[in-house]
Structure 1
Amino acid sequence: MNRKLITILTGSLLCSLPVLADGGPQPPSELSDPVALVLLTVAGGLLLAIGVLGNAVIGAMDIFREKMKNAGDKIIMTTGILLLSCIGQSAFAQDAPVTGNTYFTHLSDNSFYLLISVIMLELAVIISLLFLLRYLVGIKRKRKPAKAVVPGKKRVSWWEKVNNTKTLDADSEAEQDMGHDYDGIHELNNPTPPWWKWGFVFTVCFGIVYFWRTEISRSAPNQLQELAMEEEKAAIAKEIRLKNAANNIDENNVKQLEDPNDLAAGQKLFISSCAPCHGPQGQGVVGPNLCDDYWLHGGKINEVFKTIKYGVADKGMKAWEEDFSPKQLAQLASFVKSIQGSNPPNPKEPQGVKEQ
């Protein structure tokens, strides 16, 4: 009887196990993927559990054989074993789907779904073995007797159940006292909540996978690489923001620039475009002297910016808004303001109204 059962169980398990098309191991590139390692570890653990449960089922056969009294029990046992075999074979009756994209892993779709199918198959086998073992040993669920209500006993809240703790009064504290006294402070038996312990286990597993991906397989960036990528993105965003802000400058919001780079850029623009009329040092030629305190169209930064931008048609000064960007106009206006009071040689006589 035992030999027949062993033969049936072994045949059902062997039929349910997947066989690779090439008969060899997975490619090294896929085995190095952390998702593949996790799935293979889970599959191996479940396979070990199947071996333990299978051994227990075989041992329970001796107990069950003594309890069998008629052929009906034999038929039920044979039907359960055949169902277990059918579950194992039907799990791979169809090919694994190849549609979709497992974007979180480098595994191919066939390999990923194959491993998932193996794990699901092993779970189905374990559940079947548990039900079969329960039937063989004749386990029956026993109802728990109703708890008697103790007068004056406090009701345990759901939060205390989650944390596996309870509120203690003065009488029950003595039962939980661990005997450690520190300056009158007694240590009670208050273990760490289960959710905290499992959270710690999860962080350890996450750390192992993270270390493997970032430092060993190099399939994901580490913290320093992520920081460098974020800084690069921030620099690009800053450059775009400054460029857009520079293009939004007009005579209403212009500010006088004091950065040496901006003044040097404004000086180059002045020498190349404004020096023929105002002189290379702003002393004035055809146009007025820009170094004194007298101005024809206003000497404030927004007024100088407006004069350069729109020009003065009746004085022969062109509008430069088509030639220079708003940022360049601000640099040019700031340079003009910076040379005020510089007293260059051979200055032109003052023109306009003195700036207050």
Structure 2
Amino acid sequence: MVLLVVIGGLLLAIGILGNAVMGAMDIFREKMTKDGSKTLLTAGIVVLTLMSNSAFAQDAVVTASPYFTRLSQTSFYLLLSVIVLELAVIISLLFLLRYLVGIKRKCKPKKVVAAGKPRISWWEKVNNTQTLDTAAEAGQNMGHNFDGIRELNNPTPPWWKWGFIFSICFGIVYFWRTEISHSAPSQIEELAMAEEKAAIAKEAYLKNAANNIDENNVTLLVDAGDITAGQKMFISNCAPCHGPQGQGVVGPNLTDDYWLHGGKINEVFKTIKYGVADKGMKSWQEDFSPKQLAQLASFIKSIHGSNPPNAKEPQGQKE
């Protein structure tokens, strides 16, 4: 819809510029008869400008990205190429009109404005307004006077009226597509789809982030769910060597202040991950994900100081 609106607006601009260029062609023909070679050269420059703009349009189409629209790639490129081509035509018409206006200024002297008749600027013509003198204001007076301020018959500019009409037409088409035919999603539906995509992307990010944990960036987990998950893994896999409460059996006691390979969270994580081959402890990195290793290490840190019964004597260095 946006691309079609842009195409329509550019077509309107092309029509206006084309009309202005056609009005200046008579002067161009007179100049051509007087200075054919110079005019021919200028016409060649204009043609080259059109060709360069067309080439620019082709380059722009090639570099356009279709990933921000639900249109097919062919439709997107087609609409985009029309827009770029229209821009090229507008630029070329502007160059041509500028040249023709320059001829008009050289060939025709400026008209002398009649005495007493105000000169209307191009801005006033576009807005359909005019600067009034004291005598002309009386004829445009609407009869509304408040505190010395009089209302004059100064209508709304045409471009504003057409913009207002266009907005109404756009609203009707938008309402029909979103609320009646349901051929396009409404803003609420677009928000819901965007939130759904964001939730999927967030889930994928968290999943990847959970598997990016190693001994350099691991942090102590304090969530009850993580501690419970670590406890289940500990009982199923570590209890034969360290006891179900971490009191130590073949392996050392994990609840006291003494550690053989370091008691910091990253050191415990590293010991579980790589194991200690010379003491019979296997590497668990092939059995558990990085997230699970962090949960297991956090559970071991959580039972520090629990003083279970039948605890094994301290081993290693105190920390």
TM interval, shorter chain, is: 0.5 to 0.7
Q: Is residue 294–residue 354 contact of structure 1 (8 Å, CA) maintained in 2?
A: yes
Residue ranges of structure 2 left out of the alignment (5+ in a row): 1-69, 72-109
What corresponds to 2:301 in structure 1?
337
Residues 242 and 254 of structure 2 are in contact (CA less than 8 Å); yes or no, is this contact kept in structure 1?
A: yes
Q: Secondary structure at the match of 1:266?
A: helix
CA contact (8 A) 2:247 2:310 kept: yes
Partner Cα separation in structure 2 for residue 200 and residue 151 of structure 1: 38
2:246 aligned with 1:289, yes or no?
Answer: no
Give the Å deviation of 1:182: 6.1
Q: Could you state the TM-score of these two structures normalised by the residue count of structure 2?
A: 0.56
Distance in 1 (CA, whole Å) between partners of 2:187 and 2:295 is 41
Which residue of 146, 156, 162 maps to 2:121? 156
Q: In the alignment, is residue 325 of structure 1 matched against residue 289 of structure 2?
A: yes
Change (3 A) 1:276 1:205: same
Note if contact 1:173-1:188 (Cα within 8 Å) is conserved in structure 2. no
Distance 1:186 1:333, change over 3 A: farther
Report Cα offsets for 1:167-194 as digits up to 9, x if no partner.
x699799677766566677666665443
Shift of 1:157: 5.7
Q: Distance in 1 between matches of 2:141 and 2:291?
A: 76
Alignment counterpart, residue 176 of structure 2, candidates 208, 212, 230:
212
What is the Cα deviation at residue 342 of structure 1? 2.4
Q: Higher helix fraction: Structure 1 or Structure 2?
A: 2
- Cα distance in structure 2, aligned partners of 1:173 and 1:337: 93
Unaligned runs of 5+ residues in structure 1 are 1-102, 105-145
CA distance in 2 between partners of 1:231 and 1:341 (Å): 46
Match of 2:239 among 275, 281, 304: 275
Residue correspondence of structure 1 range 167-182 to structure 2 within 5 A: none
Partner Cα separation in structure 2 for residue 224 and residue 218 of structure 1: 13
Post-superposition CA distance 1:329-349 (Å, at most 9, x none): 111112212222222232222
Contact 2:249 2:312 in 1 (8 A): yes
Which of residues 337, 341, 349 is equivalent to 2:313? 349
Could you tell me which residue of structure 1 aligns to residue 188 of structure 2?
Answer: 224
Q: Counterparts of 1:1-356 in structure 2 under 5 Å?
A: 148-149=112-113, 156=121, 158=123, 161-164=125-128, 191-355=155-319
Aligned partners of 2:194, 2:256: CA distance in 1, in Å? 50
Cα gap change, 1:332 to 1:191, in 2 (>3 Å): farther
Q: Is the 8 A contact 2:241 2:251 kept in 1?
A: yes
With 202-211 and 168-177 compared, the bigger mean Cα shift is at 168-177
The Cα of 1:305 is off from its aligned counterpart by 1.0
1:80-118 per-position Cα deviation (integer Å, ceiling 9, x unaligned): xxxxxxxxxxxxxxxxxxxxxxx97xxxxxxxxxxxxxx
- Give the TM-score normalised by the residue count of structure 1: 0.51
Aligned 8 A contact 2:113 2:119 in 1: no
Residues 26-51 of structure 1 deviation map (CA, whole Å, 9 limit, x = unaligned)? xxxxxxxxxxxxxxxxxxxxxxxxxx
Larger Rg: 1
Shift of 1:286: 1.5
Shift of 1:155: 7.5
Change (3 A) 1:287 1:210: same
- Residue 121 of structure 2 aligns with an amino acid whose one-letter code is V
Paired residues of 2:226 and 2:295 also in contact (CA < 8 A): yes
How far apart in 1 are the matches of 2:271 and 2:135?
Answer: 89
Kindly state the Cα deviation for residue 322 of structure 1 after the two structures are TM-superposed.
0.8
